[in-house]
Amino acid sequence: MTPTPRALELREETRELVRRGTAVLTPPRTLDLDTLDRAFTIRGHDALASALALPLTTAIAQAAPHIKIRFLAEPAADVSDLARGHTDLEVGAKGKPVTTRPRKPSRRSLPPIDRLVIAPFSPARKRARRAPTEAVPLEPLDQIYQALVLGVRDYVRKNGFESVVIGLSGGIDSALTAVIAVDALGADHVLGLFMPSPYTSPESREDVSDLALRLKITVQTIPIARTLTSYLAALAKSFKGRAGDTTEENLQARIRGNLLMALSNKFGHLVLTTGNKSEMSVGYATLYGDMAGGFAVIKDVPKTMVYELAYLRNAAGRAPVIPERTLTRPPSAELKPHQVDQDTLPPYDVLDRILKAYIEEVKSPQEIAIETGFDLQLVRDISALVDRNEYKRKQAAPGLKITSRAFGFGRPFPIAQRFIP
């Protein structure tokens, strides 16, 4: 009677299995059967492992029929390693842990060998099933706020930025943008920049300071009065005989945009713009001014929703994060004395109803006037502003979409056109 061999010559892609612990299989040595348990599993990866696993299991079964063998095919972890050449195969005996490590690729043409594991056999255990936990659905406004926070966090981190800078004015839009940024990134990664002009009110200064304390963010102050004076002096000859208008107002916004971008260039901050959907719809924003930046957080959030989100966030924390006066003061760009938004725009509750019907519901001015009871000429004027300011939106920073129809891909519209709403 021929004694059962205790050692098995393996094919040339294998190496000696160390008696204790783990060993690596490469060309050519023997497999010591004494190091294997009476039952074990050979784990390979798909068909790529069969070139080695099938002859190995057959040879062991013939040499030592008392040993129970099970072969399991598993998905390959890294097919690119196989395409380049060798992959070392670590074999665990007596239940030792098994790992794999790639070897340097060989220039010789070698048969594909995937990772192969020899380990003690253990029957599959039934895992106790956990009762599924039911997620509590968020209210629509909560969903929107969480989407804005997630969107900022993803955009900033996935694009390799460590921090953001925001122009703070004391208004509701910049305050909400700052709160979202802090919730998304943490206060240490948010820098505020306050740039007062001769028309900035004392209330705005106080509210910016109050917001910074509540959010625990750093705020730098760079006045723009001297810079504005310098610009006006440089343009005095060219502007001679011309009355002041929105040109002087836009200069202030563009000075602020330059300062924000300078900090971005110098320190690597991402500039978050603060314009909302209502303003972007009718062109109530300055190209290369307050529109300058890398990411527009609330560009798809109507002004009325900005207030709703601000009240929601104030109620969610231990203490309000946005000063009460910021929520109750009439909104103003503060680019000239005693300026408020409603000097040139209808109240935001009226404006947003018209904009939603025209942009998101794609209704005509006539349909909107009939359904809402608003003056037809007002609706036409607002619709014309939307269409006329497409050129600004085409140059705006990318931003988050939270409504059913956002500008850009959601509303493709030509810049050069003569449509009559």
pTM metric for this prediction: 0.69
- Is the CB of residue 25 less than 8 Å from the CB of residue 11? no
- Cβ(6)–Cβ(34) under 8 Å? yes
- Six-digit token string for 302: 């109507």
pLDDT at position 411, please? Answer: 86
In degrees, to the nearest 5, what angle opens at C-alpha 37 toward C-alphas 35 and 39? 145
Give me the torsion for CA of 20, 14, 73, 106, rounded to 10°. 120
User: What pLDDT is stored for residue 317 in this prediction?
Assistant: 85
**Helix 348-355 / helix 376-388 crossing angle, nearest 10 deg:** 70
Give the Å distances, CA to CA, from 54 to 58, 64, 65, 71: 6, 15, 15, 9
Q: Which helix (H) or strand (E) covers residue 282, if one does? A: helix 277-282
Cβ neighbours for 99, distance < 8 A, ≥ 6 positions apart: 22, 90
CA gap 216, 192 in Å, rounded: 11
First to last CA, the chain: 101
What pLDDT does residue 135 have?
73
Q: Are 355 and 277 in contact (CB under 8 A)?
A: yes
CATH of domain 146-393: 3.40.50.620
Q: Please report, for the chain, the start and end positions of each structural domain, with discontinuous segments joined by +.
A: 8-120, 146-393
CA quadruple 359, 149, 190, 231: dihedral, nearest 10: 0
Q: Along the chain (421 residues), what's the average pLDDT of each consecutive run of 10 residues? A: 43 33 36 51 47 58 61 43 34 37 41 40 57 78 96 97 97 98 98 97 97 98 97 97 95 98 98 97 95 97 97 94 96 91 93 97 96 97 95 95 90 83 69
Give per-residue burial for 238-260: e unless 16+ CB within 10 Å, then b: eeeeeeeeeebbbbbbbbbbebb
For position 108, what pLDDT does the model report?
Answer: 39
Single-letter amino acid code for the residue at 67? I
